Amino acid sequence: MIRRPTDPEDMEDAARADAPAEQPSVAQTFGDWLRSFAGGGDQADGNLAEKLGDDAKMLASLAPGEKLILLNVLKLGEVRVGDVMVPRADIVAVADDIQLTPLIKVFLEGGRSRMPVYRNTLDEVVGFVHIKDVFEFWDRTKKFSLTAIQREILFVPASMLVVDLLLKMRLTRIHMAVVVDEYGGTYGLVTIGDLVEEIVGEIEGEHARAEGPMFTMRADGSIVAQGRASVVELEERLGVTLVPEDREEDIESIGGLLVSLAGRVPMRGELIAHPTGLEFEVLDSDPRRVKRVRIAGVNRIVKNEAPASPEGAPGA
């Protein structure tokens, strides 16, 4: 006699037993790796590399975007909080005696979900406030108290590794940290969104600035473009091939194209010539990515096939 499971949990167990083994996703692989930090110490990076290296089939099946995520994960062991933080000059914070109406105005104008709270000066950050906690006072039936909704904030040095802070945020469930200098003053600010951005690429989140359109035509005939703008769209606009055929799957953005041409992330102010006659001027960048560029030489484009990719140049 065959016993059929009637309990829902038994039925789920039976279904899992009969189902073919699923390939671990990028998220599962990274999740396992992140959890290994709790007890793996310095072996974590190696464990991830081994796990990925042991399954060539999984790596081959990944989309270009997923491969980029894994590459960023492997690079995290070298990235420090100071590399990804919002500098002090760009921090938007509120005083601990702010009233409800001006607080709501700051949230609406800043487009942020979390805001650090300071006492007297920015060197005395006492916590942060989340916009969803402010909503409790929206109908004004409750007396507003910032102290009552103020949340705990982390304090970390700029030299701390991003992976260590990511784990600390995960364990404490505190998703904002003040970066302090050697004297204990406020040096910068970082949120979990800034850290996740290092893994999945640039996202709209905490402290995102209004970037405007991806492409802006200027009176002198040049084009100002965001680094994350599509290189395919630029090719279509100009009617020219910019990316070698063998690199099309790797290079998706204009920033990625410049990294490929330079063999590294170019610095602000750097000029990069393209074989088609275009000249790219880096208007804004950081150690991780190109943010904004000016494209000149549009009227002298040589419309031919893009050259072969430089040997050993990294992808986007």
pLDDT per residue over 155-195, tens digit each? Answer: 999 999 988 898 898 899 899 999 999 889 999 999 887 78
Quickly state the pLDDT bin for 83 (edges 50, 70, 90).
confident
Topology at the third CATH level for domain 215-300: 3.30.465
| Domain chopping of the chain, boundaries | 24-78, 82-200, 215-300
Average pLDDT, the chain: 74
Q: Which residue has the tokens 């279904």?
A: 15
Residue 84 has pLDDT above 70, yes or no: yes
- Give the pLDDT of residue 312: 43
Of residues 137, 54, 68, the one with CA closest to residue 100:
137
Comparing 50 with 292, the larger pLDDT belongs to 292
Instruction: Report the DSSP beta bridge partners of residue 272.
Output: 280
- How many Cβ atoms are within 10 Å of 185's Cβ, its own excluded? 13
- Give the pLDDT of residue 155: 97
* 228-242 mean pLDDT: 86
- Give the pLDDT of residue 129: 93
Helices 44-53 and 64-75 cross at an angle (nearest 10°) of 150
CATH code assigned to 82-200 = 3.10.580.10
In angstroms, how far is the first alpha carbon of the chain from the final one? 60
Lookup: tokens for 234: 């630029």
